[in-house]
Amino acid sequence: MARRRSGLPQRKTGLREYRDVCWVSTEGTTERDYLQMEVFKGSAKAVKFPQNVHPNRHNPAAVLKRFEKALRENDFRKSDEAWLVIDIDEWDGSEIAALLEWETRDPRHHLAVSNPKFEPFLLMHYEKANGCTTPEKVDVALRKYWPGYDKRISRTHFSDGQIRRAIENAKSKRASCKEDLPAAAMTDVYRLVERLLPVNDG
């Protein structure tokens, strides 16, 4: 290794291979915890969260404006992806029209909507979440499997197998709904998770 005049080794640069980035805008800490779990460490894509994107969760237009600004400021590359992860429980369907239009504007844009909130996807690690059409019903069902759930997720809580089960449960339910937005007790979060999960060679 080359040394500087000071005698300290000179750091080599340009050796780290660039990983494509999924820039993710989320409403809460639960989603961030989930996407930063250990099981995703081997993903071909890195996950990054632009800061200060959600000034007011009741204002989709403001969220979108800030997210687009963050993408411009963070070197959004041709091979990167942008994901808006939102819950439908607080937003009227008509308010999300602008987000749906944004998704069609660029193949790198993606919208992952959960109805009524993100937690049905967590429940799908254990079951299909049938009938969990309200936030209260989701919470009751989830705590049957996870009594201490408090909106935070440890980095090792779910296994690779559990996550793959959740993806399949979410995907099979979503196939029965042809609308742009998922019906109650459905979620499109599996689309993002599927992109991040390392290839299973087994």
The percentage of residues in the chain with a pLDDT greater than 90, rounded to a whole number, is: 69
How far apart are the C-alpha atoms of 87 and 114, rounded to whole Å?
A: 5
pLDDT value at 13 more than 50:
no
Which residues in 68-100 are b (16+ Cβ under 10 Å) and which e?
bebbeeeebeeebbbbbbbbbeebeeeebeebe
Instruction: Look up residue 135 and give its two tokens.
Output: 């936030």
Tell me the three state secondary structure of residue 173.
helix
Q: What is the mean pLDDT of the chain?
A: 87
Position 58 scores a pLDDT of 57
Tell me how far apart the alpha carbons of residues 156 and 143 are, in angstroms, rounded to a whole number.
18
* Predicted local confidence at residue 27, as pLDDT: 81
pTM for this prediction: 0.86
Distances 200 to 39, 108, 113 between C-alpha atoms, Å: 11, 24, 26
Question: What percent of the chain has pLDDT above 70?
Answer: 84
DSSP output for 107-166:
TTEEEEEEES-SHHHHHTTTS--TT--SHHHHHHHHHHH-TT--S---TTSS-HHHHHHH
Whether the Cβ atoms of residue 135 and residue 117 lie closer than 8 Å to each other:
yes
**CA-CA distance, 176 to 156, in Å (whole number)?**
32
pLDDT of residue 158: 97
Peptide bond into 116 cis (omega under 30): yes
Ordered by start, the domain boundaries in the chain are 20-196
pLDDT digits (tens, 9 = 90+) for 27-60: 889 999 999 999 999 999 999 998 767 655 557 7
DSSP-derived letter for residue 93 is G
Is residue 23 predicted with pLDDT exceeding 80?
A: yes
Which one, of 131, 41, 40, 27, lies nearest residue 86 by Cα?
Answer: 27
Segment 75-88 mean pLDDT? 93
* pLDDT one-digit tens code per residue, 113-171: 999 999 999 999 999 999 999 999 999 999 999 999 999 999 999 999 999 999 999 99
